[in-house]
């Protein structure tokens, strides 16, 4: 069942990502190579985002520069895919190191469930990929970087659950990164057909303290009454940068949930766009961030309702330590005719010091009737009465603060509602607290 790929394909000559895209191997579908070429052209034509652009307001925009970043080199020694203790049970596991497939533990006799490295899927089921691959535009500001991703994407995973397929355990994907100034373009595409049910847990992990630039795209599509769940556990080195673009679309009565645990990276920009397109669809958008000094997490979201009787619920929580910075800018868009929409958007910032900086820009744009929408954002320090209550039970100040902060983040973990994933999330949250001296 397990396939260990001993020698990866010959690597591309390292070169600046600004000079040329990564060369594509032979035998890929024509539409795909054409898309890459067009995307490369788009990347070159599009301007760099500017400070005056509302979509980049408050962002440390110079961090978006790819100057000096090269196509990630083949690592001298590949990561041991089993070094990382991850989920106890998974229906499929794949691990990549700087884009090279290191191991693939794929399901056998799982009729209806397809889990494949993207490149293999492009050869074996190109039509399925074409139907979904980067289909929607990137409206939140990173269209230039999305184009760069599209021009380079080859590493990643395609997950397809056919009608009614519901594997019990999640699919787990680990992307390891190493080396100095490498650029990476991991791609994840998850498709759940009618009544299918699939959960995907993904890790982005740095193996060293070097600076990587990850431009990742994960697209989730849930068809009729499908349940699709995706969690991204971001643990890049604190000198790395990332732009993570996520699109979620939910069809009739579908239920989609995505979670981001944002821990590593010097600068991480996340763009999440949900298309709630089918009547009765429900989307949950969750994020938990724990930045410290030198880290900026820049979060942009759209919840777009296009059909009647749809719901979406966004909960972003940021626990800012020391001199951390976060930006949250979210917009709920209820299209013409999307009556009876319930859409909620909540961003909560917990400042653990007097030096943190949390910006919130919530917004609503409603063109339909009978709509229930709310958006709210709060920024506060630990409630002194709550702290007093814990200390009045003998709990030391430091432990009390940690417990309260942990509880603050825990609401996000609980909402994801997956026990095994929850244990994993808790472990990394705990590790991050430790690293921050909490």
Rounded to 5 degrees, φ, ψ at 115 are -130, 120
Q: What is the DSSP letter of 321?
A: -
Q: What's the min distance (Å) between Cβ of 119 and other proteins?
A: 41
d(CA 166, CA 170): 10
Q: What's the min distance (Å) between Cβ of 261 and other proteins?
A: 15
Per-residue string for binding with other proteins, 326-365, x by CB under 8 A?
A: ----------------------------------------
> Residue 422: enclosing H or E segment and its boundaries?
helix 419-435
Opening angle at CA 297, ends 16 and 431, nearest 5: 100
Stretch that binds other proteins, among 2-10, 89-97, 189-197, 379-387 (CB under 8 A): 379-387
Regarding 410 and contact with other proteins (CB under 8 A), the answer is yes
Please identify which residue in 37, 337, 399, 434 interacts with other proteins, judged by CB under 8 A.
Answer: 399
Choice between 30 and 419, CB closer to other proteins: 419
d(CA 320, CA 436): 10
Q: What's the min distance (Å) between Cβ of 385 and other proteins?
A: 6
- Say whether 5 sits in a helix, a strand or coil: coil
- Check: CB of residue 240 under 8 Å from CB of residue 266: yes
d(CA 122, CA 115): 12
Regarding 420 and contact with other proteins (CB under 8 A), the answer is no
Please identify which residue in 46, 403, 420, 435 interacts with other proteins, judged by CB under 8 A.
Answer: 403
Regarding 419 and contact with other proteins (CB under 8 A), the answer is no
Regarding 88 and contact with other proteins (CB under 8 A), the answer is no
Please identify which residue in 125, 361, 371, 390 interacts with other proteins, judged by CB under 8 A.
Answer: 390
Rounded to 5 degrees, φ, ψ at 374 are -145, 145
User: With contacts defined by CB under 8 A, how many residues of the chain interact with other proteins?
Assistant: 24
Per-residue string for binding with other proteins, 219-238, x by CB under 8 A?
A: --------------------
Choice between 31 and 406, CB closer to other proteins: 406
Tokens 């080396």 appear where?
179
Neighbour count for residue 353 (Cβ, 10 Å) = 13
Regarding 415 and contact with other proteins (CB under 8 A), the answer is no
How far is Cα of residue 212 from the mean position of the Cα atoms in its chain? 16
Token duo for residue 306? 């296009």
Q: What's the min distance (Å) between Cβ of 316 and other proteins?
A: 15
d(CA 284, CA 7): 40
Q: What's the min distance (Å) between Cβ of 391 and other proteins?
A: 4
Q: What is the separation, in whole angstroms, between the first and last Cα of the chain?
A: 42
Stretch that binds other proteins, among 193-201, 241-249, 256-264, 392-400 (CB under 8 A): 392-400
Tokens 């990929």 appear where?
129
d(CA 230, CA 248): 10
**Footprint on residues 22-41 left by other proteins (CB under 8 A):** none
Q: What is the DSSP letter of 290?
A: -
Q: What's the min distance (Å) between Cβ of 274 and other proteins?
A: 25
Regarding 407 and contact with other proteins (CB under 8 A), the answer is yes
Stretch that binds other proteins, among 4-12, 40-48, 79-87, 391-399 (CB under 8 A): 391-399
Q: What's the min distance (Å) between Cβ of 389 and other proteins?
A: 4
- Check: CB of residue 141 under 8 Å from CB of residue 300: yes
Stretch that binds other proteins, among 110-118, 192-200, 263-271, 381-389 (CB under 8 A): 381-389
Regarding 391 and contact with other proteins (CB under 8 A), the answer is yes
Regarding 378 and contact with other proteins (CB under 8 A), the answer is no
Please identify which residue in 52, 67, 336, 394 interacts with other proteins, judged by CB under 8 A.
Answer: 394
Question: Where does residue 226 rank: exposed (0-12), middle (13-18), buried (19+ CB within 10 A)?
Answer: buried
Please identify which residue in 80, 137, 411, 430 interacts with other proteins, judged by CB under 8 A.
Answer: 411
Regarding 414 and contact with other proteins (CB under 8 A), the answer is yes
Please identify which residue in 10, 392, 419, 437 interacts with other proteins, judged by CB under 8 A.
Answer: 392
Tokens 């001993």 appear where?
6
Radius of gyration of the chain (CA): 21
Choice between 305 and 317, CB closer to other proteins: 317
> Residue 118: enclosing H or E segment and its boundaries?
helix 118-124
Rounded to 5 degrees, φ, ψ at 103 are -155, 150
Contacts with 131 (C-beta within 8 Å, 6 or more apart), sequence order: none
Choice between 369 and 397, CB closer to other proteins: 397
Binding site for other proteins (CB under 8 A): 383, 385-386, 388-397, 399-400, 403-404, 406-411, 414
């Amino acid at each position: 069942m397990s396939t260990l790929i001993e020698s990866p394909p010959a690597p591309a000559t390292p070169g600046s990502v600004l000079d040329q895209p990564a060369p594509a191997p032979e035998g890929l579908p024509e539409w795909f190579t054409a898309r890459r070429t067009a995307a490369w052209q788009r990347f070159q034509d599009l301007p760099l985002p500017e400070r005056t652009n509302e979509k980049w307001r408050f962002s440390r925009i110079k961090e978006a520069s790819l100057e000096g970043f090269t196509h990630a080199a083949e690592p001298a020694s590949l990561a041991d895919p089993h070094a990382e203790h991850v989920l106890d049970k998974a229906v499929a596991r794949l691990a990549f190191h700087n884009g090279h497939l290191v191991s693939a533990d794929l399901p056998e006799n799982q009729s209806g469930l397809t889990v494949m490295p993207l490149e293999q899927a492009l050869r074996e089921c190109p039509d399925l990929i074409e139907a979904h691959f980067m289909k929607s535009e990137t409206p939140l500001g990173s269209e230039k970087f999305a184009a760069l991703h599209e021009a380079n994407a080859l590493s990643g995973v395609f997950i397809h659950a056919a009608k009614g397929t519901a594997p019990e355990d999640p699919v787990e994907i680990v992307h390891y990164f190493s080396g100095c100034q490498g650029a990476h373009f991991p791609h994840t595409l998850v498709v759940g057909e009618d009544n299918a049910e699939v959960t995907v847990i993904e890790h982005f992990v740095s193996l060293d303290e070097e600076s990587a630039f990850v431009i990742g795209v994960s697209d989730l599509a849930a068809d009729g009454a499908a349940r699709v769940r995706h969690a991204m556990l971001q643990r890049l080195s604190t000198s790395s940068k990332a732009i993570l673009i996520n699109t979620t679309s939910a069809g009739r009565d579908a239920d989609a949930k995505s979670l981001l645990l944002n821990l590593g990276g010097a600068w991480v920009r996340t763009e999440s766009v949900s298309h709630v397109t089918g009547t009765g669809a429900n989307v949950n958008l969750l994020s938990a961030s724990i930045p410290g000094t030198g880290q900026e997490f820049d979060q942009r979201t759209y919840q777009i309702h296009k059909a009647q009787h749809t719901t979406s619920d966004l909960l972003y929580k940021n626990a800012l330590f020391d001199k951390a910075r976060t930006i949250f800018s979210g917009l709920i868009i209820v299209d013409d005719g999307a009556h009876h929409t319930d859409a909620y958007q909540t961003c909560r910032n917990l400042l653990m010091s007097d030096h943190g900086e949390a910006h919130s820009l919530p917004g609503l744009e409603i063109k339909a009737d009978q709509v229930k929408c709310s958006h709210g954002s709060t920024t506060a320090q630990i409630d002194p009465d709550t702290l007093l209550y814990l200390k009045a039970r003998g709990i030391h100040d430091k432990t009390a603060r940690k417990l309260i902060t942990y509880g603050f983040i825990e609401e996000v973990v609980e909402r994801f509602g997956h026990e095994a994933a929850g244990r994993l999330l808790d472990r990394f949250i705990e590790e991050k607290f430790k690293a921050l001296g909490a």
